[in-house]
Each structure stands twice: as C-alpha cells, then as structure tokens.
Structure 1
Amino acid sequence: MVSDVHGNAEALARAGDGADALVVLGDLIDFVDYHDHSKGILGRVFGPEKVGIFAELRRGTRRADTASYIRSLWDGLADARSVVEEAVLEQYHALFSAMSAPTYATPGNVDSPQLWPRFAGDGVHVLDGEAAEIGGLRFGFAGGGLAVPGVVRNPNAPWFPYVRTEEDMADALDRMGQVDVLCTHIPPLVPELTYDVVARRPEWGSRAALDKIHRERPRWSVFGHVHQPLARRVRLGHTECVNVGHFQRSGKPHVLNW
C-alpha cells in the first residue's frame, strides 16, 4: 500500500514486489516539490527560485497572497492549461507503467482523475466510491480531498485539484457498502491523524469516513495525505487506522497482512 507518490515512479515500480496486490491511495502527481524546488511541475515550468517564493507563501496564513502569486505565474504563459496537462500526462505515463499487476488505485487531491481512464486496464483497476475483493477481504475506495466551504473554483485556472464536498464523500462511502478495509486518500477526522507536525496545521480529515468507521467497524482504515502526521496509527474501537504515506520520501510501501 502506498500514498502520496508525488512522481516517485522508480520506487513505485518496486512497491508491489512479493505482494498479492498493490493498493495506491492517490497523489501520484508531483505538482509542487517542497523538498527540491527544481522538481515537480512548477519547478519544471517556472524554475526553483519562483517555486521557493511560492513555498514560503504557502507556509504562511495569507492565502490571498499565495493565490495572487501563483495566478501571476500562470498568467505569464500563453497556454498554461496545455502546459500543465502535458506535464501531468508525462508523469502519469511513467507512474502507471510502473504499477505492478494487480493494482487497485484511487485518486488523491493532487490528481486529475478525468485522465485516469486512459491508463486503467492491464491489471490496473481505478476505483472511487466502489469496492473490490482482494484476498478474500472487501476493500472500499473513496478518493480526493475536501473542498473548502465557500471557496469558488476559478474556471480559468490551468489545473484543478480533485476535491469534493463532505456530502459527496459520504455518498461515495455509502456506495461502496460495508467493507473490511476502508481505503481513502484523506484520513478520518481524528486530530492525531490530521495534524501535520512540520506544516504545523491540521490538514483535511473526513467526518463521513469517521462516521463510517464508528458505524461499520472495518478491520482497517488506510489513507495518506498528511505527510508528517502527529500519529501514523490510531485505533478506533475495532478499527486500526494507518497512514501509509509519505511514499515520495520514504519509498517504502506499507504491508498489510491477514
């Protein structure tokens, strides 16, 4: 199991070695590489200096300044949307080619799920709001992040993160039915799982996922999204909750045995 791959195709190619299946919980794209500003889509397009400025703004609390700065960068390109899609497709070709068969994958917020059908098949199963049987257990998948209430998406933006309302997340969780392993990109809404100790702020967590855990008591809840969580494991009654990322940096998959 891996999450938050962010472009690490080399390690992804080894992640399924010796396993019956590979589970990928999203964030395949390396859009902004906060560890190496020369990498990622922004680094490739704008260079490390400008990415460094963006990263510094992103760490602050002035969201309007961050949005204004990144908008000024995109406005300097003749066709920013085509530039981004070309870069995303290039990464996806490498990443999906690296997946071993069988792979069961759901997108994260740093993904373009509308492009995923191009890469499904040949042992790669894309699921979102669906379930699959793996090794006699029922795995349910729900991808994406959560939309910020009240934030209106700019229709002219060159790229959109995959986010959904909590209501839409709840619907996806309901559609999959009762499962043994709940697979989401974002964690359930538990403070120890959502707080990032490096960013020093809570990240997204799903109330609907937490409610499903309390209501249906799956054996495991697995997820990623929070790169440096306060706690990687928390037990909620019968359910073991595990953050299986940050694969881009660790290069090590989480192994689930039963």
Structure 2
Amino acid sequence: MRVHVVSDVHGAADALARAGDGADALVCLGDLILFLDYADHSRGIFPDLFGVANADRMVELRTARRFAEARALDRELWAGLDRRDAIERAVRKQYAELFAAFPTPTYATYGNVDIPGLWPQYARPGTTVLDGTTAEIGGRVFGFVGGGLPTPMHTPYEVDEEEYAAKVAALGPVDVLCSHIPPALPELCYDTVARRFERGSTALLAAIRSVQPKYALFGHVHQPLVARTRIGRTECVNVGHFNHTRTPWALQW
C-alpha cells in the first residue's frame, strides 16, 4: 500500500493533479487556498485585488510581527469594497480548479485558511472530507483533525482550544494521526524564514503521547526548524510545503 500526503497546497492545482501518481490514495492536510504567497508576492487573491506593491507591504508588516499595522493596512484597502463577496468569488474559482485536480480516492481535511462551508459544493465522488473523524485506508486507521488555533492572523478556520481538543479526543486510537497544524513542540512549530513560532496543539501532543500512533502527519509550518522527530514510538513528520516542493510525502507499507 502506498499513500501520498500533501499539505499547504496554496493554489498549486497543476502539481496537485499529479500528486497521486503511483499511489493507492492521496491524503491532503489542507490549506488549498492561496491568499498571499510569501515567496512570490504576485500570486494569490490579495495581489490580484490590491496589486503587488500592497502585497509587498503586507508581507513586510506580518513578517515583522507588526500585526496592528497590518490590520490597519487591511482595513484601508478594503474600505468601500464588499470583502465577503470578493473573497468568496476568488475562493470559489480556486476551489473549482483544486477539487477537480484531486485523484480518486482522496481523503482531505481543512487547513486554517480554508472555508469548510464551501467544500461540499466542490468535493466530487472519490473525495472524502474528514474533520474529527477517521477512515480506514489499506487496513490502517487514519484520524483527521482540520483547521488551526486562534492567531493574530485571524485566518478563516481557526477554532478555540476546547473545540480543537474535542475533535482530537473524538478520534480514539488511530494508526496515523493527520492534522493541519503540528503538535506543540517548539522545534516543529518554528518557521525559520518567517522567524516566528506558529501555533501547535497541546491536544495533539497529548494524544500522541497517550495513543502512540505509528505516524503523526501535519503541515502548516512552511520552513520548519525540524521537519521530523519522534515522540515515543510515534514518527512525527511535517509532510512539506506542497506549493513550494510540488512533491508529495510518501507513506508505504
């Protein structure tokens, strides 16, 4: 059995269409949408609406953790515009391309920048969406936990710690624990390019220590200080920033 795993697709529909080649199934750990590409500021919903110069400024402010100024710039740019309508139209366009690229079968959960309410309109037969639930793939139980925890970024699918922990607890024993965000270990949460810690989950960390799945797979941190480590018997793996690598991580048994 061979399963390919991707995370942080961020608009890479062309590469996503090839991500299942040679695999029995594809697992996607979310962040399909590209709002603003920190490596190429000309790509994404934000520069399409407001231009590259404003994208440069927004990245500069966020990278410097000047979040109050970033929010002020955001309010200035959106003044007089229907934010909800503009974003939904752009997201729908990306979702139509991305969901059409998923191979069969695909098992997917949400990232923190995704909009779960739109997924049922685009997920085709052969794509199973899971969040706080499990699926058996090749005789192994995979548990899925989507979304992220609250941050100053206020991304679309952030849930409070209690709700997130309840989703983790609902899984029970699993062989492979799949989430968008990492467990709360500093070395897994630090982004060496953004120079900041991303939010990791203490509930995931507790579940790994208690259940000891064979693997804990996640993404979210694009340039992690450490891409993989062990917690007891569990191999913890950041499967990579797919928008950059264009290469899935392979799990074989």
Interval of TM-score (by shorter of Structure 1 and Structure 2): over 0.9
Contact 2:188 2:225 in 1 (8 A): yes
Taking the aligned partners of 1:45 and 1:245, their CA distance within structure 2 comes to 28
Residue in 2 aligned with 1:2? 6
What is the CA-CA distance between 1:125 and the residue it aligns to? 0.4
- Identical amino acids, percent of aligned pairs: 56
Instruction: State TM-score, norm by structure 1.
Output: 0.94
Per-residue CA deviation, residues 180-221 of structure 1 (Å, 9 max, x unaligned), is 000000000011100011111111100000000000000000
Asked whether 1:211 is paired with 2:215, we answer: no
Residue in 2 aligned with 1:51? 55
What is the CA-CA distance between 1:61 and the residue it aligns to? 2.4
Deviates more, 1:112-121 or 1:101-110: 112-121
Give the length in aligned residue pairs: 249
What is the CA-CA distance between 1:120 and the residue it aligns to? 2.4
Taking the aligned partners of 1:22 and 1:5, their CA distance within structure 2 comes to 13
Taking the aligned partners of 1:35 and 1:199, their CA distance within structure 2 comes to 11
Taking the aligned partners of 1:242 and 1:187, their CA distance within structure 2 comes to 9
- Which residue identity is paired with 1:3? S
* Gap runs ≥5 in structure 1: 154-159
Taking the aligned partners of 1:196 and 1:142, their CA distance within structure 2 comes to 21
What is the CA-CA distance between 1:38 and the residue it aligns to? 1.6
Per-residue CA deviation, residues 27-86 of structure 1 (Å, 9 max, x unaligned), is 000001112222100011111011111110111122111111111111142x22111100
Taking the aligned partners of 2:192 and 2:66, their CA distance within structure 1 comes to 19
Residue in 2 aligned with 1:129? 132
Residue in 2 aligned with 1:142? 145
Superposition pairs of residues 169-184 of structure 1, within 5 angstroms: 169-184=164-179
Give secondary structure in 2 for the equivalent of 1:255: strand
Taking the aligned partners of 1:61 and 1:44, their CA distance within structure 2 comes to 23
Measured on the aligned residues, the alpha-carbon RMSD in Å equals 1.3
Residue in 1 aligned with 2:230? 235
- Which residue identity is paired with 2:95? Y
* Gap runs ≥5 in structure 2: none
What is the CA-CA distance between 1:9 and the residue it aligns to? 0.3
Per-residue CA deviation, residues 144-199 of structure 1 (Å, 9 max, x unaligned), is 11014xx7x7xxxxxx5100111111100111221000000000001110001111
Contact 2:63 2:195 in 1 (8 A): no
- Which residue identity is paired with 1:198? V
Give secondary structure in 1 for the equivalent of 2:249: coil
Superposition pairs of residues 35-114 of structure 1, within 5 angstroms: 35-77=39-81, 79-114=82-117
Taking the aligned partners of 2:205 and 2:36, their CA distance within structure 1 comes to 29
Instruction: State TM-score, norm by structure 2.
Output: 0.96
Taking the aligned partners of 1:178 and 1:72, their CA distance within structure 2 comes to 48
Residue in 1 aligned with 2:156? 161
Contact 1:141 1:183 in 2 (8 A): yes
- Which residue identity is paired with 1:84? I
- Which residue identity is paired with 2:205? L
